[in-house]
Amino acid sequence: MTPMDAILDAISWDEQGLVPAIVQDHHTGQVLMLAFMSRQALEATLATGEAHYWSRSRQELWRKGATSGHTQRVVEIRYDCDGDALLLYVEAQGPACHTGQTTCFYRRLEGSGVGRGK
């Protein structure tokens, strides 16, 4: 077993062979997006230092920014205590969201009672 295999085997891949990846701006701490990574995507990310993900809609590997130019250079990758989620700290070149927003989390859920406090 190679050191890379040991790293990849530490991840608890789901039934589709995926793991959720939370992507956070390395400088600001802002959460940019949630994506999914396959073993192949994580291998490509580790090999190149650029974020690669698995597109569930297209069922294919994609390098972030391949068409938009909005790449993500990966600074650090962490995994949670269960090994079933990744956290990527990135230096983003351009917006993370396909809508052109800096973050995919630009919409607020209104009227839910959340945040009303005492």
- pLDDT mean by block of 10 residues, the chain; 118 residues: 83 96 97 97 96 95 94 97 97 94 92 67
Is 107 within a domain? no
Neighbouring residues of 64: CB distance < 8 A, sequence distance ≥ 6: 35, 50, 51, 52, 53, 70, 71, 72
Is 118 within a domain? no
Q: Indicate the pTM of the whole model.
A: 0.89
Is 12 within a domain? yes
- CATH code, 65: 3.10.20.810
Is 105 within a domain? no
For residue 113, the one-letter residue type is: G
Domain count, the chain: 1
pLDDT of residue 118: 54
Is 52 within a domain? yes
Is 114 within a domain? no
Tokens 């085997």 found at? 9
Q: Which H or E run contains 43?
A: helix 39-48
Token duo for residue 14:
């789901």
Domain that holds residue 71: 3-92
Question: What span, in angstroms and rounded, lies between the C-alpha atoms of 32 and 17?
Answer: 23
Is 113 within a domain? no
